């Protein structure tokens, strides 16, 4: 097995652990569980499309970006506190999918192309929501604190590395990250999973059994 296979196994174990408490805990927990299961399924299908059907997986990025944006928007809508923050989340949750989907209606060819605009539009709001949640609870260890840290570190790190990679490509200079880009991303995912595992431990062994 290669490093990707081990990543899928780790992700599958994480999903199983969260499924155990799916009916025990509340809305936020359920949304987060659906999110990690959905990401696992999309990633697994995307990585095997060529092997199974000789189909390039470029279009699956659109499903991944939109699914992640929608699920994490709902996730943070249950955690953010002020009306202004919630208004921002719900407005973007309506407008951004409409904008992205309308692009494919107008120009269906875009569905089979990698869109940097889509990646940044779907990722940056989640980074902002995550930062808002940290700011709202400075100095506190709130519910889903470590899951939030995992999401923030992974999205910020992967987005920065991808942006750096694209900058080198635009300048047509040798990219020092080119050979190690995949491994860096896998490492970031393991770091993210580490926070998710620790979050599960805190939730499942929480003495009073109360969690969103």
Structural domain contains residue 19: yes
pLDDT of residue 193: 97
Over residues 167-178, the pLDDT tens digits come to 666 665 565 555
Residue 120 has pLDDT above 80, yes or no: yes
pLDDT of residue 208: 47
Residue 2 has pLDDT above 80, yes or no: no
8 contacts 14 by C-beta, under 8 angstroms: no
- Joined together, the tokens standing for residue 44 give 């697994």
pLDDT of residue 209: 44
Structural domain contains residue 209: no
Structural domain contains residue 162: yes
pLDDT of residue 175: 57
Over residues 144-163, the pLDDT tens digits come to 999 999 999 999 988 877 77
Structural domain contains residue 211: no
Structural domain contains residue 86: yes
Domain with 186 in it: 3-204
**Could you give the CA distance from residue 165 to residue 22 in angstroms, rounded to a whole number?**
38
Domain count, the chain: 1
- What is the widest separation between alpha-carbon atoms in the chain? 57
Residue 114 has pLDDT above 70, yes or no: yes
Over residues 25-46, the pLDDT tens digits come to 999 999 999 999 999 999 989 8
> What secondary structure letter does DSSP report for 112?
G
pLDDT of residue 56: 77
Residue 24 has pLDDT above 50, yes or no: yes
């Amino acid at each position: 097995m290669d490093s990707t296979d081990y990543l899928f196994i780790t992700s599958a174990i994480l999903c199983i652990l969260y499924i155990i408490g799916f009916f025990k805990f509340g809305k936020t927990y359920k949304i987060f569980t659906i999110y990690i299961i959905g990401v696992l399924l999309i990633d697994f299908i995307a990585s095997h499309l060529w092997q199974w059907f000789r189909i390039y997986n470029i279009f699956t990025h659109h499903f991944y970006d939109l699914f992640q944006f929608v699920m994490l928007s709902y996730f943070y809508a249950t955690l953010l506190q002020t009306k202004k923050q919630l208004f921002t989340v719900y407005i973007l949750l309506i407008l951004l999918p409409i904008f992205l989907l309308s692009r494919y209606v107008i120009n269906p060819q875009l569905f089979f192309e990698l869109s940097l605009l889509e990646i940044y539009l779907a990722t940056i709001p989640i980074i902002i929501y995550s930062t808002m949640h940290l700011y709202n609870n400075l100095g506190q260890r709130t519910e889903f604190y470590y899951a939030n840290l995992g999401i923030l570190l992974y999205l910020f790190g992967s987005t920065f590395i991808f942006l750096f990679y694209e900058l080198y490509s635009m300048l047509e200079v040798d990219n020092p990250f080119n050979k190690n880009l995949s491994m860096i991303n896998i490492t970031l995912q393991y770091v993210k999973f580490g926070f998710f595992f620790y979050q599960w431990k805190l939730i499942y062994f929480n003495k009073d059994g109360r969690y969103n």
